[in-house]
Amino acid sequence: MQVLLLGAGTVTSRLNMQLAEQGHAVVAQIAAFTPQHLDLFDFRALVVVSPEASVAPEGLVQAAERGKLLFVIAGVGDGMSAWANGVGVPALAYPPSEVDVHKLFEEMRRAEAGNLAADDQYRRAVLGSDLSARLQSGMAVRKIAITSPKGGTGKTTVAVNLAVALALSGITTYLVDADGNAGALQYHLRMERVQTTMIGLLRREVAKAGRGVMGDVASGAAYLNAFTPLENLPTLRVLPGLITDDLGDEVLQQEDKVAEVIQGLYEAGVAAGGVVIMDVGINPAHVVHRAALKAAEGIAIVIKPEIPDLAETRRWIARMIRSLASVVGRGSAQEFVGSRVKLCYNQVVGDGFKSAHKLLQQALSEDQIELALIPNGILPIVDPRLAAQAVNSDRREDILVWRYRKEKLEELGPFAEALLGFAAHFVPAVREGAARIGLLPAAPKKRGWFRK
């Protein structure tokens, strides 16, 4: 792999030769490291020979945040060795013995093979190793579908920002494009080279079934390998692109297979300790959408607080309950929908959503649907210029919450805070992670209605 080697002494120079012998490409060997080097050189791993280099832990934290793999060689009692051990970065004694050097190469091979190493380093180095362990227990709803009964309400915007917010907060997040009509994740995330796409994965699995490959249940690893990791946010992996204009497409005729793949993606992400978010298109009768909604533990319905959206939502909920009721009975159907659906009002101006929400409640009770839906998310409209840059600029970091994290633009504060509030309905631990990286104020703000 591409290595940036830090140090300017005999041990470093020797290591430089040995790395080359092992087939690694040392892009540069430098004595003093600054975060600017992260932009100057293209590399995957940073190998630090601490006693021969000038580098501060803060610089290494920034490298971990950018998804670089870190390896440290440091003297016993050296501050760098204490730091590395504290955050779980592989650390070897200085000067390293032959055995140590072999251990280093072994660690590098392992990290290269299992792409989970970088996200763990991000968690430990950027958020702190104490929090890293706690995050795992604070995830209530790990299989999340984001949908809406109408187009253009902000499904993809919410899915992408929710995923980035969770990922920045240290939660490994698998983001899937399951929109059969208007998949757009590859644009939002500026992805050029991808491992595969949703339609590619479906074709592969359907082809296997067509050849009668029995018992060839795709393993969790095969599903995880379908995701493309982002080099500058190691906690986020993406499976883009379910685009086919051909409704007669063979893969869409095999509902069982589609359901198996969707389920497999959810299960694999959860088994790997993460959260899976699917961006699901508007038509719940589409085979992919139906499978993604059915297997979800939480369904976010993104709507604008406007009459046409409310009318569609009313119909969507009624249809969902009707179709479930024929299988499990009306009571259970209502329970299923009530326990899973989380409403997210988007592009909200002022508190107009309150009267809209009342209208929706009223309409549902007129339909004899007993659901106590609450507005779980209330996302304000953001400056259209910033919303456009979030998809049009050439920087992936212009995605709204990511940009807020980097630039602290005041205009984006309310959106980021509201989004994290919505995210906490699924993953309560996100608050702690977000506070650690400065995405949220550490102490929860007092709300108006708590005041006397």
Binding site for ligand ADP (CB under 6 A): 148, 151-157, 182, 346-347, 379, 381-382, 387
Which of ligand ADP, Mg ion, none is residue 152 near (CB under 5 to 8 Å by kind)? ligand ADP
CB 11 within 8 Å of CB 96? yes
Which of ligand ADP, Mg ion, none is residue 308 near (CB under 5 to 8 Å by kind)? none
State the nearest-atom distance from the C-beta of 292 to ligand ADP, in Å: 14
Identity of the residue, 156 or 313, whose beta carbon is nearer to Mg ion in the bound complex: 156
Identity of the residue, 399 or 429, whose beta carbon is nearer to ligand ADP in the bound complex: 399
State the nearest-atom distance from the C-beta of 155 to Mg ion, in Å: 5
State the nearest-atom distance from the C-beta of 401 to ligand ADP, in Å: 11
Output the six-digit token pair for 173.
């997040």
Identity of the residue, 132 or 346, whose beta carbon is nearer to ligand ADP in the bound complex: 346
Alpha-carbon distances, residue 351 vs 22, 342, 380 (angstroms): 62, 19, 10
Asked if residue 156 binds Mg ion (CB under 5 A), the reply is: yes
Span from 39-47, 180-188, 208-216, 352-360 in contact with Mg ion (CB under 5 A): 180-188
Identity of the residue, 16 or 161, whose beta carbon is nearer to ligand ADP in the bound complex: 161
CA angle 141, 289, 254 (to 5 degrees): 120
State the nearest-atom distance from the C-beta of 323 to ligand ADP, in Å: 22
Residue type present at position 400:
L
Query: HSE on the CB side for 12, CA within 13 Å?
Result: 25
CA angle 281, 225, 143 (to 5 degrees): 45
| Other C-beta atoms lying within 10 Å of the C-beta of residue 410 | 8
Identity of the residue, 150 or 357, whose beta carbon is nearer to Mg ion in the bound complex: 150
Which of ligand ADP, Mg ion, none is residue 153 near (CB under 5 to 8 Å by kind)? ligand ADP
Which of Mg ion, ligand ADP, none is residue 347 near (CB under 5 to 8 Å by kind)? ligand ADP
State the nearest-atom distance from the C-beta of 129 to ligand ADP, in Å: 35
The closest residue (CB) to Mg ion is 156
Asked if residue 148 binds Mg ion (CB under 5 A), the reply is: no
Return the residue matching tokens 């440091």. Answer: 74
Identity of the residue, 50 or 347, whose beta carbon is nearer to ligand ADP in the bound complex: 347
Which of ligand ADP, Mg ion, none is residue 151 near (CB under 5 to 8 Å by kind)? ligand ADP
State the nearest-atom distance from the C-beta of 182 to ligand ADP, in Å: 6
Identity of the residue, 119 or 177, whose beta carbon is nearer to Mg ion in the bound complex: 177
Asked if residue 347 binds Mg ion (CB under 5 A), the reply is: no
Which of Mg ion, ligand ADP, none is residue 228 near (CB under 5 to 8 Å by kind)? none
State the nearest-atom distance from the C-beta of 347 to ligand ADP, in Å: 5
State the nearest-atom distance from the C-beta of 153 to Mg ion, in Å: 9
State the nearest-atom distance from the C-beta of 184 to Mg ion, in Å: 5
Q: What would the 3-class secondary structure string for the chain be?
A: CEEEEECCCHHHHHHHHHHHHCCCEEEEEECECCCCHHHHCCCCEEEEEHHHCECCHHHHHHHHHCCCEEEEEECCCCHHHHHHHHHCCCEEECCCCHHHHHHHHHHHHHHHHCCCHHHHHHHHHHHCHHHHHHHCCCCCCCEEEEECCCCCCCHHHHHHHHHHHHHHCCCCEEEEEECCCCCCHHHHCCCCCCCCCHHHHHHHHHHHHHCCCCCCCCCHHHHHHCCEEECCEEEEEEECCCCCCCCCCHHHHCHHHHHHHHHHHHHHHHHCCCEEEEEECCCCCCHHHHHHHHCCCEEEEEECCCHHHHHHHHHHHHHHHHHHHHHHCHHHHHHHHHHHEEEEEEEECCCCHHHHHHHHHHHHHHCCCCCCCCEEEEEECCCHHHHHHHHHCCCHHHCHHHHHHHHCCHHHHHHHHHHHHHHCCCCCCHHHHHHHCCCCCCCCCCCHHHCC
State the nearest-atom distance from the C-beta of 381 to ligand ADP, in Å: 4
Identity of the residue, 70 or 164, whose beta carbon is nearer to Mg ion in the bound complex: 164
Which of ligand ADP, Mg ion, none is residue 382 near (CB under 5 to 8 Å by kind)? ligand ADP
Span from 60-68, 156-164, 212-220, 347-355 in contact with Mg ion (CB under 5 A): 156-164
State the nearest-atom distance from the C-beta of 353 to ligand ADP, in Å: 12
Binding mask 182-211 for Mg ion (x = CB under 5 A): --x---------------------------
The neighbouring-strand residues paired with 29 are: 5
Kindly state the number of chain residues that form the binding site for Mg ion, as judged by CB under 5 A: 3
Q: Please give the residue ranges that form the binding site for Mg ion (CB under 5 A).
A: 155-156, 184
